[in-house]
A and B are shown apart, each in its own frame.
Chain A
Amino acid sequence: MEQALSSIGNFLGLLFILLCLGLILFYFFSDPTREKINLRSIEAFTHFRRQIDLAVEAGKRVHISLGRGNINDLQGGAALISLTILDHCARAASNSDRPPVTTSGDGVVTILSQDTLQTTYRDLAADQRYDPSNARLTGLTPLAYAAGAMPAIHDEYVTANILAGHFGTEVALLTEAGERSQSLTVAGTDSIPAQAVLYATVDEPLLGEELYAAGAYLGGGAVYTASIRMQDILRWVLIAAIGIGAILKLLGILS
């Protein structure tokens, strides 16, 4: 019995992943045409769309900061989400006079951001608008990255900053630069200390898993809404598990 429980415990992670995968595929294939579900209003995404529109209309630039998360790390999820946001921004601002500029603090993310921009412009049949120098590595350490991204906010006709990805507390330097240059800033990160900083320095921060919902809120497609549903279901499962575990621990049943 104990061996069976031990083996189940070893494969609990695999079971959890398979459960997540099954839920995503179920919702994706059960009603793939139903892209829109009732999403609660997140002001940051509303501002996000508006800022891109305003930037395009004003002939200004959108600055997208992808953070310094490595896709090989725990921050890989935030880094990949930031690439999704970059794809959306590049498409929305493709007809702008000035294409979006991206900054990142990791070599892999920089290459992926260049690739994302190139693929997006190719899809839009606007290959000539692709400029590799619009996707930049500004620094390899957090503070060097922030220091390198600040001039991009100040000097490159930026009217909107979208900070999405993995940041530390150095993100406050970027938000301060945005405020000084009177450009609007929307920011979201997976880092807890950075979220505390963003709460104090940005009007509408993306907290917790809100950053990961970007694909669904920006109209990414059915797979993103399926992911959102999966997360909602598993969140309730986790809440229930934590609640039951706490009660069992309180009653002394669970050692």
Chain B
Amino acid sequence: MKKILPVTNAVIAIISGSIVLLGYFFPGLFGGIQSVLIGWAIILAAFALLLGIFNLMMVHWKKIGSEGKGSIYSIVLLISLVLTMIIVSISGPAGSWSLWIFNTIQVPAEISLLAVLAFVLVYAAARLLTRRFKWYTILFLVTVLLVLLGSAPLFFVGEVGLLSSLRGWLAQVPAVAGARGLLLGVALGTVATGLRILIGIDRPYGG
């Protein structure tokens, strides 16, 4: 059984992947079964989300049991999770109570984290030369400053047209060109990864 199961998994993965891929090029022949498989994948993804939440609960339940340093946060998390589930179940996903939780807790928390992120990025940029004192690091910093200068009018100075144009050029020509090059490499890597899985050599599914 231990040998049969991985082989079975690999066969299912190869057949499913091939059908979905061929469905894009031969929709008349494989379109129907491709839609069925995609529907299954969507349902499985939704259940995976539930399993992930269950996993989150179990991890923090264990943390409470261990009485470690962060056990109090785990208690808060579990209580919040259970309360939210109860309230949303009663009030409904679009109910006023559900939206109150969302607007007064989740949105401010995420905005605060994003504000911290902005602060972290400024701090990291200011210290970048201590981390990597190279000519291309200086080029990186100069580009960052030029884009920032062109993003908004400077306080007490106002908008500088030249800087805005320069920012537009930097964002659209070198930055996008570099990004496209990177994306092409990423796409090739993604294709190679997908093909390895499609032919069953790389098996991230316990095969």
CA distance A78 to B185 in the complex (A): 12
CB B68 to nearest CB in A, in angstroms, measures: 7
Residues of A within 8 A of B121 (CB): 169, 172, 197, 200-201
CB atoms of B204 and A80 under 8 A apart: yes
Question: Interface centre among B189, B197, B198, by most A CB within 10 Å?
Answer: B189
Q: Does A195 touch B at the CB level, under 8 Å?
A: yes
Q: For chain B residues 179-204, which have a beta carbon within 8 Å of chain A?
A: 179, 181-186, 188-199, 201-202, 204
Q: Of A115, A151, A155, which is within 8 A of B206 by CB? A: A115
Query: Shortest Cβ distance from B170 into chain A, in angstroms?
Result: 13
Complex contact B193–A136 (CB within 8 A): no
Select B49's contact among A20, A107, A234, beta carbons within 8 Å: A107
**Interface contact A203-B131, CB-CB below 8 Å:** yes
Give min CB distance, B105 to chain A, whole Å.
12
- Asked whether B70 lies within 8 Å of A17 as measured between CB atoms, the reply is no
* Residue from the list A111, A215, A230 in contact with B52, Cβ < 8 A: A111
| Proximity bits, B90-119, A CB within 8 Å = 1, else 0 | 000000000000000000011001101100
| Min C-beta distance of B35 to chain A, whole Å | 14
The CA-CA distance from A223 to B202 in the complex, in Å, is 8
A164 within 8 A of B: no
* Closest Cβ neighbor of A193 among chain B residues: B179
Q: Are A133 and B185 in contact (CB under 8 A)?
A: no
CB of B41 within 8 A of CB of A143, answer: no
How many of chain B's residues have a CB under 8 angstroms from any CB in A? 61
What residues on A are CB-neighbors of B181 within 8 Å?
A: 208
B120 at the interface (CB under 8 A from A): yes
Interface of B is mostly: helix
Cα–Cα distance between A106 and B140 once the two chains are bound (Å): 32
9 residue pairs bridging A and B, Cβ less than 8 Å apart = A13-B24, A70-B45, A115-B206, A137-B52, A140-B53, A148-B56, A172-B117, A235-B184, A238-B184
Interface contacts beyond A20-B195, A24-B192: sample of 6 additional A-B pairs, CB < 8 Å, sorted by A: A74-B190, A108-B44, A110-B55, A170-B117, A208-B181, A215-B202
Taking Cβ atoms with an 8 Å cutoff, the residues of A that contact B are 10-11, 13-14, 16-17, 20-21, 24-25, 28, 70, 72, 74, 76-78, 80-81, 83-84, 87, 106-108, 110-112, 114-116, 118-119, 132-133, 135-138, 140-141, 143-144, 146-148, 151, 155, 169-170, 172-173, 175-176, 190, 192, 195, 197, 199-201, 203, 207-209, 211-213, 215, 223-224, 227, 230-231, 234-235, 238
